[in-house]
Amino acid sequence: MNGLPGQAADSQPGDLANEVEGYLLWQARVAEAETRARAFAEQLDWLTTGQREQIEQHYVTDSLQRARDDLERVVARCHSLRAEYEHRYRTLRRRCVAWVLAVCVGLTTVTGLYLLL
C-alpha cells in the first residue's frame, strides 16, 4: 500500500494538498456565511432567540447551497473547456503530423528523382 491512509493507490501526491486546500476554502466559506447570517439577524432586533437561530441557520444553508451551485457550474465549465481544448490539441497534432509526413514524402521524392538523374 502506497501513500497515506484514505488515499487511493493511484492518486497523485498533489491530490491530498488539493483536498486540504478545498476543505480549507469551504470552511472559510462556511465561516463567512455564518458571520453574514449573524450580521443579518442582528438587524432584526424584534426576533426571539429561537427565531434568530432559525433565520441564521436558514441564511447559512441558503448561502452554502448557492456557493455549492456556483462551484458545480464552475466545475462543469472546466470540464467542457478541457474537452474543447483536448479536441483542439488532437486536431492540431494531427495537422502537424500530416505536414511533417508530407514534407518527408516530398523530400524523399525529390531526393529519389535527383538520384535517378
pLDDT score at 3:
45
pLDDT score at 15:
86
pLDDT score at 29:
95
Task: Give the DSSP letter of residue 48.
Answer: -
End-to-end CA distance of the chain: 67
Percent of the chain beyond pLDDT 70?
A: 90
Mean pLDDT in residue range 48-73: 95
Cβ-based burial of 33 (10 A; exposed 0-12, middle 13-18, buried ≥19): buried
Choose among 106, 98, 109, 26: nearest CA to 60. 26
pLDDT score at 90:
97
pLDDT, tens digit (0-9, with 9 covering 90-100), for 16-42 = 888 999 999 999 999 999 999 999 999
